[in-house]
Amino acid sequence: MKKNLHIAVIAAILVCGCATNPITGKQSLNFVSNSELFPTSFQQYNAFIAENKVITGTAEARQVDVVGGKIRAAAEKYLNYLGQTQYLKDYRWEYKLVDNKEINAWCLPGGKIVVYSGILPVTQNEAGLATVMGHEVSHALANHGAQRMSAAQLQQIGGVALDAATSNKSAETRSLFSQAYGIGTEVGVMLPFSRSNESEADKIGLTLMAIAGYNPDDAITFWSRMSAKGGASGTPEFMSTHPSDATRIANLKSLVPQAKETALKVGLIR
């Protein structure tokens, strides 16, 4: 009875926790609303900015601001094209260049974008930076942060259900079940889920940079430079949170024509 009850609870959570994302058109797992997520996101961003050195007044800082503005405008145009004129109403866009040698950038839910100075030698130009910022903004637009939080919650609930279902087993058996569940859900569910998010952000980001006036072919050039820098570790793809460089570049090449076509359509909307 307990086992059936836990299965019923998980099924109910899955049904209630699915929402359609307007920018992807897909139903996705999401237990967290923007009204809950954004205030926390903004607090985390403000704390980070207060504790780190923000670069201002340089050509590089101005480039981050210019490209950020173009990506923001592209996101607004794209969502208007999709008939989602109110989707960004709670976004509070901000773009900062931070003094950090790490090759990285990120965008928190709600449009708070940080670019580390260490990635600029790899981006090299506006198009390279647009590739990075378009990708990071796409994570926010597709609600990937909320989805990952929801998936982690579900993984935890599943672990509790498994523990209850094996309560009559020995401690050793329960430990083995728990270890198998942890490894199985991480490799079989959480990591593929993360790689899927990355590929989705690549696709949306390619479209955004094209709408912003950049050539999406330049995204392939950027990711080739990242690959040469060792952007992805030697970790096998199935054990990684990101697609391999070869997979990513192949996917991008196949998506470039669609990004250009969508940009043309969006450009016709006034």
Residues annotated catalytic, as ranges: 136
**How many Cα atoms sit within 13 Å of 245 on the Cβ side?**
16
Q: Where are the alpha helices (DSSP H) in 84-190?
A: 120-123, 126-141, 144-165, 171-185
Report how far apart, in Å, the C-alpha atoms of 173 and of each of 7, 135, 162, 177 are. 21, 44, 12, 6
Are 107 and 38 in contact by the 8 Å Cβ rule? The answer is: no
Please report, as a single letter, which amino acid is at residue 251.
N
- Contact (Cβ atoms closer than 8 angstroms) between residue 118 and residue 103: yes
Half-sphere exposure of 110 (CA within 13 A, CB side): 17
Question: Position of tokens 């430990």?
Answer: 175
Residues 6+ apart with CB under 8 A from 45: 94, 108, 112, 114
* Nearest partner of 29 among 40, 43, 19, 38, judged by Cα: 19
Find how far residue 72's CA is from the centre of its chain: 16
Rg over alpha carbons for the chain, rounded to the nearest Å, is 20
Q: Tokens at residue 82, please?
A: 């999709």
**Residue 182, both tokens:** 């942890």
Tokens found for residue 39:
């205030």
- The residue type found at 49 is I
